[in-house]
Structure formats: structure tokens, C-alpha cells
């Protein structure tokens, strides 16, 4: 399968406090490590980032968003990680799983897609609460 590769989290936009929280979570729950996506990596494909490549491309303007993506996590690891991250009310990242489709997307494109999905979900919840 395409995703049979490095089991890790990809993170973007996290501050030092957020990273400290993640480091503690990783240690306590014995979860895989994370790799930081930097703004200069906006045009890189997710697959290349997972493989540890770091190709500085031009700085594409990226929104200030916090993203945590999970690659190749077992279901129980994903469940533990998501539950723990959601306890941190200050972080509020977009959480996503790397898929066979998204692994070939450039990070900036995936980021835009995730933001749009979040807005659609928000609108759906608002509509549902009004009915």
C-alpha cells in the first residue's frame, strides 16, 4: 500500500507550547514522533515531506493555521492522539489523516482543502443546530 512508510505526525503552524504538549503526549502515550512542515515547504508533496526531504521552495503565502496530520497510525494510536489533542482547548488544530490521494498533493493545496472542509463542517453543524 502507498502509505506503508514512516509512521509519524506532520505538523504545521504550532508554537513552542503546542510542540511541548505534543512531545509530552508522545512520551506518555508512546506514540510516533512528528515532523514539522515549514512555510518554505509549501510546494512540496506530502509524500516527500514524509520521506524526510526538505526542499526549500519559494515562500508561498500560507494562512496561520495549526495542522496535525497522521500518517500510517494504527486505529488505537489515532484514537489516543486525537482524544488527547482535543483536551488542549488552546491548540485547536485541524486534524487529518494522510490518504492515498492526499499523499501526492502539495502541502499548500492540502492546507486549502482542509480549511474548506472545516468550513463546510462548521456550516453543517450550524444548520443542524438551527433545525
pLDDT tens digits, one per residue of 91-108: 999 999 999 999 999 999
CA distance 103 to 15: 25
pLDDT at 59: 66
Q: What pLDDT is recorded for position 58? A: 64
Give tens-digit pLDDT for 75-84.
999 999 999 9
| Closest CA relative to residue 108, chosen from 22, 38, 21, 6 | 38
Given a cut of 50, whether residue 3 has pLDDT beyond it is no
pLDDT score for 2: 43
Answer for the pair 22, 11: CB distance below 8 angstroms, yes or no.
yes
pLDDT tens for residues 15-45?
Answer: 999 999 999 999 999 999 999 999 889 999 9
Q: What is the pLDDT of residues 107-119, one digit of tens each?
A: 999 999 999 998 8
Amino acid at each position: 500500500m502507498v502509505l506503508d512508510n514512516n509512521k509519524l505526525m506532520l505538523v504545521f503552524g504550532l508554537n513552542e507550547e503546542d510542540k511541548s504538549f505534543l512531545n509530552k503526549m508522545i512520551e506518555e502515550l508512546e506514540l510516533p514522533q512528528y515532523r514539522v512542515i515549514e512555510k518554505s515547504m509549501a510546494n512540496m508533496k506530502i509524500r516527500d515531506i514524509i520521506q524526510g526531504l526538505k526542499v526549500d521552495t519559494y515562500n508561498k503565502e500560507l494562512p496561520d493555521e495549526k495542522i496535525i496530520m497522521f500518517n500510517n497510525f494504527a486505529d488505537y494510536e489515532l484514537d489516543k492522539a486525537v482524544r488527547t489533542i482535543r483536551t488542549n482547548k488552546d491548540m485547536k488544530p485541524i486534524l487529518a489523516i494522510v490518504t492515498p490521494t492526499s499523499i501526492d498533493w502539495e502541502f499548500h493545496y492540502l492546507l486549502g482543502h482542509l480549511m474548506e472542509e472545516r468550513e463546510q463542517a462548521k456550516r453543517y453543524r450550524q444548520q443542524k443546530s438551527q433545525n
